[in-house]
Amino acid sequence: MRFRWAKRENHPRPKVILHFKPEPFSGTKKIIIIWSILFLSLAAALFWVGSRFHRRSLSVSSHQASLREPPAQAEARSSFREQPINIQAGKTITELLGPYFASPQIIQKLLTAVSPVYNLSRIKAGHSLVVKTQDNGEFQSLVYEIDPGHLLRVEREADNFTASIETIPYETRLGYLAGEIEGSLVETFNNLGEGDQLALALAEIFSWEIDFYIDLRPGDTFALIFEKKFRQQQFAAYGDILAAQIINRGRKFAAFRFRSPSTGKIDYFDAEGNSLRKEFLRSPLKYGRITSRFSFNRLHPIRKIYRPHYGVDYAAPIGTPVQATADGLVTFAGWNGGSGRMVRIRHNHGYETLYLHLREFSPGINPGARVEAGQVIGYVGSSGESTGPHLDYRILYRGRYINPLAWRFEPAKPLPAEQQAIFKAEIKPSQLLLSSPLLVVQQLIF
C-alpha cells in the first residue's frame, strides 16, 4: 500500500488530506485496517497532546501612562481614517507624525506622555505603524507593533494622551513535522514548508548535545510537535516546541518541554527527566563550518611552520554573532597580538574559553562582566594573524588546552524526584507521536 500527504488548496486553514492507494497483493485489506487504526490513534494522540498543554489565553496586559480611558463617545460621533505609515530607516517619530499635528509642541507632549510606557525613538523600520486621524486630518490615535507579541496603543483626547502596551491576541494551533535531513537543517525545514526560525529553535534545544555543523548527516531523521500562532487566519509567529526527537548517526536524542510546578521555570529534558543542558554549548556559533580542528602539529597558514593549534576554527561571514558557550566572568576583552580582538571568559570547575580574531565586541563585554551561555559576546572578524573571516575557539581546563569537539561535559541537574511522576505523565502523548514510524509524513497542522 502506498500513501501520500497532500495539502488541500484554497482552504482557509492548513489541513492535511490522506490518500490511500492499495497495491494488489495478498493481505491488503488487513494492512489498510492496521494503517487506518494507526492514523486514527495518532490523531487522537495529537489531540491529547494539545489538551495536556494549556492553551494560553492571551489577555491584554497594559501599563497606563494616564488613568484616562479612550474617548469612546467622541469616537462614535466622528468618522476616522486609518493610515498605515511606512517607517523608513533614519526617520524619527517626530518626522513621521509631523503631518498629523498642528505644532511640534503637541508631538513632544505625546512623546512625554508615552515615555513611561515605551520610548518611541526606538521604532524600527519595517514594523507596522497605523495612525488614525479625524476628518480634518488631525491625529486621533496610533498603533505600533513593537514585536510579534506586543502592540503600543496611543489615544488622544483634546491635548491629553494615554498609552498602553497590549498583548496581541493569537490563535495557537498545534503542529507536527517530521522528515529526513537533506542538506542543512534550515534547508530541510524550508523544503517542508517551514521557516528558518523553527529550525533554529530546534537546533538551540539540542545545542548542548549536537553541533549542527559537524554532527548532522544526510539521512538523519527528526520529528517535533510545536505551536504555530495565527492572527486573522494568517501565520504570525512560531510558539514553543513542545517535544522533539532527532536520530543522529543512529543515536536518538529526545527533548520534552516542562514547566517546574515549584519554580515556574521552563526547560527541556529527556524522557528520563535528565536536563538537556550541559556545562557548555557544543558550538560558539549558530552559523558556520569547521575549517581547522584541534591539533598538536598543524602548518600555520601565515607563518608556514608546524606548531600546535589549540582551538577549532569556524569559518563564517564577517559580523556573524559569537555566543559564550557557558556562564562565566569576562577576564579579558581587547587586542592580543596575533589573536587579534579576543575575549577570554572564566567558568566554573576550572574551565576557561577564548574567542579569537573578532571584528568587535558586544556592548558591555568588558573585564568583570558576567555573561550567560548563549549570550552574544562579539562578532566574527579577521583581526590579527588571519587569512579570512573566522572564529578560533579554544577551551582551557585547569590551565591545559583541551579539544572542544572531543571533550565530554557534565550535564545539569535532573528533575527532582518529586516532579518525575508529573513529568512522565505529561510527556506520554508526545512520546507516542514522536516514536511512531511516520517519517513519510511531511506536515500535520490542526
Query: CATH number for the domain including 367?
Result: 2.70.70.10
Q: Give the whole-angstrom CA distance, residue 381 versus residue 393.
A: 13
Per-residue pLDDT of 323-338, as tens digits, reads 999 999 999 999 999 9
Q: Identify the residue with better confidence: 398 or 45.
A: 398
Rounded to 5°, angle at Cα 38 from 223 and 24: 110
Which residue among 143, 167, 191 closes a domain? 167
Residue 29 pLDDT more than 70? no
Q: Is the pLDDT of residue 12 over 80?
A: no
User: Per the domain annotation, does 439 fall within a domain?
Assistant: yes
* Range with top average pLDDT, 34-48, 93-107, 263-277: 263-277
Q: Kindly state the DSSP code that residue 78 receives in the 8-state scheme.
A: S
pLDDT at 80: 79
Q: Is residue 409 a part of any domain in this protein?
A: no
Q: At 438, list the grid cell.
A: 511516520
Query: Given this model, what pLDDT does residue 234 score?
Result: 86
Report yes or no: 38 and 436 within 8 Å, Cβ to Cβ: yes
Range from 231-235, 254-258, 329-333 carrying the lowest mean pLDDT: 231-235
* pLDDT tops 60 at residue 26: no
Q: Is residue 395 part of a domain?
A: yes
Cβ(105)–Cβ(165) below 8 Å: no
CB of 310 closer than 8 Å to CB of 294: yes
Q: Are residues 98 and 182 in the same domain?
A: no
Residue 304 CA to residue 252 CA, distance in Å, equals 43
CA torsion sign for 292, 297, 299, 304 is: positive
Strand order, beta sheet including 139-147: 81-85, 129-133, 139-147, 150-157, 160-167
Which comes out higher in pLDDT, residue 47 or 316?
A: 316
Give pLDDT tens digits for 159-206: 788 999 998 888 899 899 999 998 888 999 999 999 999 998 999 899
Per residue in 220-248, is it b (16+ CB within 10 Å) or e — as a string?
A: bebbbbbbbbbeeeeeebbbebbbbbbbb
Sign of the Cα torsion 431, 435, 436, 442 reads positive
Is 66 a residue whose pLDDT tops 50? no
| Partners of 307 in beta bridges | 298
282: in domain: no
Do 374 and 294 lie in one domain? The reply is: yes
What is the pLDDT confidence band of residue 353, given thresholds at 50, 70 and 90? Answer: very high
Q: Tell me if 102 is assigned to some domain.
A: yes
Does one domain contain both 189 and 259?
A: yes
Question: Which pLDDT belongs to residue 71?
Answer: 47
Domain shared by 179 and 143, yes or no: no
- How big is the chain by its Cα radius of gyration, in Å? 27
**Rounded Cα gap, residues 433 and 446, in angstroms:** 15
- Distance separating alpha carbons of residues 322 and 151, to the nearest angstrom: 31
* Residues 390 and 312 both lie in one domain: yes
User: 10 Å Cβ neighbour count for 316?
Assistant: 22
More confident residue, 97 or 439: 97
What is the pLDDT at residue 135? 80
Task: Name the band, by pLDDT with cuts 50, 70 and 90, for residue 83.
Answer: confident
The answer to whether position 19 is within a domain reads yes
- For residue 67, being part of any structural domain is answered with no
Centre a 10 Å sphere on the Cβ of residue 132 and count the other Cβ atoms it contains. 18
Amino acid at 87: I
Find the Cα–Cα–Cα–Cα dihedral 302, 303, 307, 309, rounded to 10°: -20
Residues 297 and 326 in one domain: yes
Kindly state whether residues 192 and 254 are assigned to the same domain. Answer: yes
Q: Which backbone phi and psi does 434 adopt, to 5 degrees? A: -65, -30
- Is the same domain home to 268 and 372? no
Q: Report the alpha-carbon distance of residue 139 to residue 118 in Å, rounded.
A: 19
| Average pLDDT of the residues in 12-20 | 33
Quote the pLDDT of residue 367.
Answer: 96
Q: How many CB atoms lie within 10 A of CB 423?
A: 20
3-class state of residue 412 by DSSP = coil
Return the closest-CA partner of residue 352 out of 392, 297, 320, 393.
393
Same domain, 246 and 153: no
Residue listed under C-alpha cell 548532522: 216
Q: What pLDDT does residue 370 have?
A: 96
Instruction: Answer yes or no: do 159 and 264 share one domain.
Output: no
The CATH code of the domain that includes 268 is 3.10.450.350
Among 167, 195, 226, the domain-final residue is 167
Domain boundary among the residues 104, 135, 167 is at 167
Domain membership of residue 397 (yes or no) is yes
**Helix H or strand E segment including 223:** strand 221-231
Answer whether residue 121 shows pLDDT above 70. Answer: yes
The β-bridge partners of 147 are: 150
pTM (2 d.p.): 0.59
The confidence score (pLDDT) of residue 41 equals 53
Q: How confident is the model at residue 300 (pLDDT cuts 50, 70, 90)?
A: low
How many Cβ atoms sit within 10 Å of the Cβ of residue 41? 13
Looking at the structure of the chain, the number of domains it has is 4
Model pLDDT, residue 243: 96
% of the chain with per-residue pLDDT over 70: 76
Helices and strands per DSSP (H, E), number in the chain: 7, 25
pLDDT at 9 over 60: no
> Angle, nearest 10°, between helix axes 28-52 and 417-434?
140
Does one domain contain both 261 and 360?
A: no
Question: Is the domain of 111 the same as that of 256?
Answer: no
Cell of 44: 487522537
pLDDT at 74 over 80: no
How many other C-beta atoms are found inside a 10 Å radius of the C-beta of residue 6?
11
CA gap 150, 169 in Å, rounded: 9
Range of the domain at 234: 171-277+414-445
Distances, alpha carbon 287 to alpha carbons 154, 290, 386, in Å? 40, 10, 19
Pick from 101, 126, 121, 96: which is nearest to 111 by CA? 121
> How many CA atoms, within 13 angstroms, populate the side-chain half-sphere of residue 445?
22
Beta bridge mates, 333: 343
Top-confidence residue, 47 or 256: 256
